[in-house]
């Protein structure tokens, strides 16, 4: 498999390690196999941000914006069932700030019981995350920008503040969201420089 990350990486210095999802990982004839403690009582549309999960995963094929089918190994669940990874791709999210961002290398596992975002994968690919002191909140940051936010659900898991966007909904970005996306992509160019680029016709829609 490829890297699982947001499209733009950044330096990080996170040190957090999780406990719940990834108990063991090893190579097998069918590829990587992970032992996952799959929680019950989740909402079908919600995403769990887990410090221990080995990769991002979902059972929902219809959420993928891009998708590549194939035998990509397996995961072993807490009840000893082995479930195949049948594909992977990208999924778009409208985040807590209204901006649409794309998560890459999400594994499609039809038999898994929840949608998982691997904080460990984000950490390995250039993002830092930290719990907010005095609040049951975790923030995933790129530099000083908060890319994702989650609310604690217990232990080392958090529920993503945001939702999946599919099909035409992904293109329905407001002008302010579009500006925020370009500002994110261009870094420290600043709003004045952004306006100059826009006037020159160098910025289109997102």
Model confidence at 27, pLDDT cuts 50, 70, 90, reads: very low
Q: What is the pLDDT of residues 42-51, one digit of tens each?
A: 457 899 999 8
- Other CB atoms closer than 10 Å to residue 132's CB: what's the count? 11
**Helix, strand or coil, per DSSP, at residue 41:** coil
Against a cut of 0.85, is the pTM above it?
no
Catalytic residue numbers read 50
Tell me the pLDDT band of 110, cut-offs 50, 70 and 90.
Answer: very high
Region at 98 (left for phi over 0; alpha for psi -120 to 50; beta for the rest): left
CATH of 25-165, picked from 2.60.120, 2.40.50, 2.60.40, 2.40.70, is 2.40.70
Please calculate the CA angle 100-186-120 and round it to the nearest 5 degrees. 55
Residue 59 has pLDDT above 90, yes or no: yes
The alpha helices in 45-204, defined as continuous H runs, are 119-124, 175-186, 190-199
The yes-or-no verdict on residue 64 having pLDDT over 90 is yes
Q: 75 falls in which pLDDT band (50, 70, 90)?
A: confident
pLDDT tens profile 141-193: 999 999 999 999 877 789 999 999 987 555 544 444 555 554 544 544 445 55
Which own/partner contact pairs does 60-68 have at CB distance under 8 Å and 24+ positions apart?
60/115, 61/87, 61/108, 61/110, 62/166, 63/91, 63/164, 63/166, 64/89, 64/90, 64/91, 64/106, 64/108, 65/89, 65/90, 65/91, 65/92, 65/102, 65/166, 65/170, 66/90, 67/108
Q: In the chain, where are the structural domains located?
A: 25-165, 173-206
Contact 26, 140 (CB under 8 A): no
Nearest to residue 172, comparing CAs of 103, 106, 98?
98
């Amino acid at each position: 498999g490829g890297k699982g990350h947001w499209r733009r990486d950044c330096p990080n210095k996170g040190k957090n390690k999780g406990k719940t999802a990834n108990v063991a990982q090893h190579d097998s004839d069918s590829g990587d196999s992970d032992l996952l403690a799959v929680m019950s009582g989740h909402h079908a549309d919600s995403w769990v941000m887990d410090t221990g999960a080995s990769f991002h995963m979902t059972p929902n094929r219809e959420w993928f914006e891009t998708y590549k089918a194939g035998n990509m190994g397996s995961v072993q669940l807490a009840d000893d069932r082995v479930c195949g990874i049948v594909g992977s791709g990208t999924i778009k999210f409208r985040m807590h700030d209204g901006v649409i961002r794309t998560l890459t290398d999400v594994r499609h596992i039809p038999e898994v019981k929840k949608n998982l975002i691997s904080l460990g994968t984000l950490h390995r690919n250039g993002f830092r995350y930290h719990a907010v002191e005095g609040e049951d909140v975790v923030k995933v940051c790129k530099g000083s920008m908060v890319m994702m936010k989650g609310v604690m659900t217990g232990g080392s898991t958090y529920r993503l503040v945001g939702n999946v966007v599919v099909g035409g909904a992904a293109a329905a970005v407001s002008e302010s969201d579009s500006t925020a996306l370009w500002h994110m992509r261009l870094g420290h160019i600043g709003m004045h420089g952004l306006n100059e680029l826009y006037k020159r016709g160098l910025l289109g829609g997102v």
